[in-house]
Chain A
Amino acid sequence: EIVMTQSPATLSVSPGERATLSCRASQSVSSNLAWYQQKPGQAPRLLIYGASTRATGIPARFSGSGSGTDFTLTISSLQSEDFAVYYCQQYNNWPSWTFGQGTKVEIK
């Protein structure tokens, strides 16, 4: 099983600042990686797939990069609605998908 490790566990950022979240895979997942955002009491929302492609309706301030084992989600200028938990998920290891443990982005 591919293990996905996210860092940091918690990221404290001021509104308007840039946030950089990391996700590392225990073995290569190529570009088969997605990012999800989850707010309290809500279902996760797809942000990014294919490591760097924004899902429909996702603002341009969200961007994804990386391939192989190291990936980054960048939020260029944090808005109040962006404070949430973010999960990466690999879908390269057929047939099993795995999620990272999540990074909580909180207000500094």
Chain B
Amino acid sequence: QVQLQESGPGLVKPSQTLSLTCTVSGGSISSGSYYWSWIRQPAGKGLEWIGRIYTSGSTNYNPSLKSRVTISVDTSKNQFSLKLSSVTAADTAVYYCASALYYYDSSGVYYYNGMDVWGQGTTVTVSS
């Protein structure tokens, strides 16, 4: 079973770039067909999907964050990363990484089975 672990600075100054890494263990980040996602949750609030990267390296981002977000993958380290630029206090949150399997059957029908593996989350505070 794949396991995920977030890491990165817990404190970022306003206007700087938040950088987090998710390390994948128990499996290869480049095998199979997976979405590797980032999700965040401000204290006491709901979940916000930030974006994802495919095993192929393609990315999709939340339109509300798209101009500031970059998600990338480092297959040699079995990691994927999040960069969020020009942060403000509104970006203070717990940041989670998660994975989801998708596939196409022999008839070309697409299947997606939800984000079934999550990291434990890492708290990032934006403050001077």
Contacts and interface: CB of A to CB of B under 8 A. Distances in A.
Q: Which of B49, B114, B116, B118 has the most CB of A within 10 A?
A: B114
B114 A46 contact: yes
A98 B113 CA distance: 16
Query: Is chain B's interface secondary structure helix, strand, loop, or mixed overall?
Result: strand
Nearest to A102: B46
Interface stretch (A10-18, A76-84, A89-97): A89-97
Interface string A43-55: 1111011100101
A43 B98 CA distance: 10
Given A43-B96, A95-B60, A55 B47 contact: no
A26 to B, nearest CB: 15
Contacts, number: 56
A42 B112 CA distance: 24
Interface residues of B, number: 20
Q: How large is the interface on A (under 10, 10 to 19, 20 to 34, 35 or more residues)?
A: 20 to 34
Contact of B118 (A32, A34, A44, A101): A44
B48 A46 contact: no
Interface of A: 1, 32, 34, 36, 38, 42-46, 48-50, 53, 55-56, 87, 89, 91, 94-102
Interface of B: 39, 46-49, 60, 62-64, 96, 98, 112-116, 118-121
Given A34-B115, A46-B114, A100-B46, 6 more contacts: A32-B112, A44-B115, A46-B115, A53-B113, A55-B114, A96-B63
